[in-house]
Amino acid sequence: MLNQNPKLDLMFQALADPTRRAMIDRLSRGPASVSELAKPFDMSLPAVVQHLQALEASGLVSSQKVGRVRTCQIEPEALSQAEQWLNERRTLWVKRLDRLGEYLAATEDEEEGK
Amino acid sequence: MLNQNPKLDLMFQALADPTRRAMIDRLSRGPASVSELAKPFDMSLPAVVQHLQALEASGLVSSQKVGRVRTCQIEPEALSQAEQWLNERRTLWVKRLDRLGEYLAATEDEEEGK
DNA sequence: TTGTTACTTAATTTCATGCTTAACCAAAAT
DNA sequence: ATTTTGGTTAAGCATGAAATTAAGTAACAA
């Protein structure tokens, strides 16, 4: 079938979870360690790390370990890809609506011209 | 802490499936009936309808039934909401990076001035 | 060197998702 | 009136995702 883009699957899947969106929200304000990221959540650390793995697998977040601390940050380019997918479809639709509107306006003018 | 916006859960969840994205892609080119939407997929009709229900539950797609034909279309406002969520976080991050860049440039100037 | 911090890995349980077939309904067509 | 078309409902099944606890490792601190 059309449009096999498995990276988008992983991105939107990652974004579907409120915990993971909250993590992205936190990271949009600056980098954070795993335990900083975990702090707001009432959830075990391994659970948080699994969410983080989903975010990294999707490419939305990256991380490096220095000493024993893993620091995470947003990958804006990946966010942008998801954003663009949505934007392209939406504007296609909207432009179609615009053309339809113009057509209707034109045919109304014809009616008036009779 | 959690779940400020459950509608976003449903939207991103809906977008995570390639079949459903292909449906949105199709609908971005204009409205379609259920069986038109189903045609490209090697999948039973009930399966297609279930995907459609996920799209409608999320608000990304709406439909009306006339006679025995259900016609579906995109809800651009919903697409836009998902788009905005991504855009806000990304631009927050990017602006932060810009400020950091300016700061670094400024401290380098100081070094040079010594 | 001993303990604490900051994760990491593994095993398990529970619940949701995506798909199927079968049966059903109601509008159109013949 | 009967059949076909377009869609709906229901039940069941296989898979995968989200969480848990328990146990382990490696860095750093006392």
Domain chopping of chain A, boundaries: 6-113
In contact, B78 and A68? CB cutoff 8 Å = no
State, as a whole number of angstroms, the distance between the CA of A50 and the C1' of D20: 12
Average pLDDT, chain B: 90
d(CA A106, CA B49): 37
pLDDT for the residue A109 = 53
pLDDT above 70 coverage of chain A, percent: 85
Q: Does A43 touch chain B (CB under 8 A)?
A: no
Reported as a pLDDT band with limits 50, 70 and 90, residue B96 is: confident
Taking alpha carbons only, the member of B59, B74, B73 closest to residue B10 is B59
Q: Does A22 touch chain B (CB under 8 A)?
A: yes
pLDDT above 90 coverage of chain B, percent: 78
Looking at chain B, which runs of residues are DSSP E strands? Answer: 32-33, 61-66, 69-74
Identify residue B70 by its one-letter amino acid code.
Answer: R
The answer to whether A35 CB sits below 7 Å from nucleic acid chain C is yes
pLDDT tens figures, A71-112: 999 999 999 999 999 999 999 999 987 777 766 666 655 554
Is residue A96 packed enough to be buried (19+ CB in 10 Å), middle (13-18) or exposed (0-12)?
middle
Q: Picking from A2-6, B57-61, B80-84, which range would have the lowest pLDDT averaged per residue? A: A2-6
pLDDT for the residue A3 = 54
In contact, A86 and B79? CB cutoff 8 Å = yes
d(CA B57, CA A54): 24
Listed in sequence order, the residues at least 6 apart from A75 whose beta carbon sits closer than 8 Å to its beta carbon are A59, A60, A61, A62
Q: Which of residues 74-93 of B touch A (CB under 8 A)?
A: 74, 76, 79-80, 82-83, 85-90, 92-93
pLDDT at B17 over 50: yes
Check: CATH 3.30.1380.20 for B6-113?
no
Identify residue B37 by its one-letter amino acid code.
Answer: L
CA diameter of chain A: 81
Distance from the Cα of A74 to chain B's closest Cα (Å) equals: 8
Listed in sequence order, the residues at least 6 apart from B3 whose beta carbon sits closer than 8 Å to its beta carbon are A18, B9
